[in-house]
Amino acid sequence: MNSDTGLPHYSVAELNQAIGSLLERGFAPRFLLDATVSRPQLKKGHLWLTLVDEQASISGVVWASQLNRLTFRPSEGDGVLVVGKLNFWASRANLCVQILDLRPSLSAVLRQFERVRSLLEPEGLLAPARKRALPAMPAAIALLTSVPSSALADMLRTARERWPATAIHVVPIPVQGPVEAQIRARLAEVIERAPDLGVEAIVLARGGGSREDLAVFDGEELARDLAACPLPVVTGLGHEDDTTIADLVADYRAATPTAAIVALLPERSSLINALQQQRILLRQRLLQRLGQERHRLELHRERLLQLHPRRLLDLQRQQLLQRLELLRALSPERLLERGFALVQHPDGRLVRSIEQVSVGSRLELVLADGKVDTQVREVRGKTDG
């Protein structure tokens, strides 16, 4: 309605309706809003809060019908990313952001990450020295992850391809939102049943998502449970660039869920190749050892043959024959056969010098084939003419 001055003239209801129409026509039906939560409180099942930044604030509400669908329940001071739309009540000209969904903002997640890290690091829970070695060929592992999920399918396929001998016990867990208590409860169940199931390691895995989606794995209590776990823990959470508190506490942090299985299970074909190489090496060493032993046995055989009584007798006989030949060569009979003769007195005394005889002495000449009696007619020395 126009007045006489040419200015628009409204009643209060008309003004509020015009503002509402203007907002409805000129503002996006849905939008994203970065804000910090202030004074959250439940009233009649609805969550009321104030969304603020450094310069301004606006009221926000999550209706009861939407509240149970949220995976994240904000607290005082939490940074959030809101999916919302404007609600304008024309009767009171009251403007409010109706929150359709919200999740922690990256800045809030990082603050939480640093807060928990600063608590655990001085206690040595993040120290590399406390990390345990993974089992070489685990008989069974427990896999805590969302069911069903593409990450689970990839992990199971990889496990079958790499090492089907390992039993995989899949333990479903929620992986997003305020579910830390549920994850801790399932972890405790696995630890309790591990001896009966033969579980030798635990994998905590979640597929890709934003860093905000991984905020549940930054929980302090979950981190302490993982640190106290009696079994080695492998994490495969999110993407390669994502690092959570659970990753820092785990015994091994894999870049992805599939990489966690690769780190934990041996690769069958590689192991087969390694075994074949070891078989060849062992065969070569065995043949070499057999050759050495065969040579050693041959040496022992030769030595035994040399020490055989018959061989020793033959050797002794040969030595005796050699000595006999030597004695024969040196015997007087051999000299006599060569034409020499022995001169002796009739009583058998050998004549070795002319001083032992005189003219007229009777002597015997012993030859090879007999004796000759003779008498000395003349004695001459070497110097006599």
pLDDT digits (tens, 9 = 90+) for 238-258: 888 889 999 999 999 999 999
Query: Are 222 and 134 contained in the same domain?
Result: yes
> How far from 108 is each of 76, 81, 134, 254, CA to CA, in Å?
11, 10, 34, 24
Strand ranges (DSSP E) for the chain?
31-43, 46-52, 57-62, 79-89, 94-104, 140-145, 167-172, 201-206, 233-237, 252-254, 342-344, 362-367, 370-375
- From 104, 139, 162, the end of a domain falls on 104
Q: Is residue 31 part of a domain?
A: yes
Confidence of residue 4 (pLDDT cuts 50, 70, 90): low
62-99 pLDDT, tens digit each: 999 999 888 888 888 888 889 999 988 888 888 999 99
369-381 pLDDT, tens digit each: 888 899 888 888 8
**How many structural domains does the chain have?**
3
SS3 of residue 342 by DSSP:
strand
* Of 263, 209, 210, residue with least CA distance to 235: 263
Query: Are 99 and 236 contained in the same domain?
Result: no
Confidence of residue 1 (pLDDT cuts 50, 70, 90): very low
- From 215, 249, 266, the end of a domain falls on 266
Phi, psi angle pair for 62, to nearest 5°: -115, 115
Query: Are 88 and 126 contained in the same domain?
Result: no
Question: Do strands 233-237 and 362-367 pair parallel, antiparallel, or not at all (unpaired)?
Answer: unpaired
Q: Is the pLDDT of residue 330 over 80?
A: no
Q: Is residue 346 part of a domain?
A: yes
For the whole model, what pTM was predicted?
0.58
Q: Is residue 315 part of a domain?
A: no
* Whether 235 contacts 260, CB under 8 Å: yes
Write the CATH number for 114: 3.40.50.2300
Query: Are 88 and 177 contained in the same domain?
Result: no
For a pLDDT cut of 70, what percent of the chain falls above it?
A: 98
Q: Is residue 336 part of a domain?
A: no
Between CA 71 and CA 179 the distance in angstroms is: 9
Write the CATH number for 24: 2.40.50.140
Q: Is the pLDDT of residue 354 over 80?
A: yes
What integer pLDDT is reported at residue 287 of this predicted model? Answer: 92
Query: Are 73 and 124 contained in the same domain?
Result: no
* Whether 234 contacts 260, CB under 8 Å: yes
Q: Is the pLDDT of residue 382 over 90?
A: no
Query: Are 179 and 155 contained in the same domain?
Result: yes
SS3 of residue 209 by DSSP:
coil
- From 219, 243, 266, the end of a domain falls on 266
Q: Region 227-239: what's the mean pLDDT?
A: 95
The boundaries of the domain holding residue 114 are 110-266
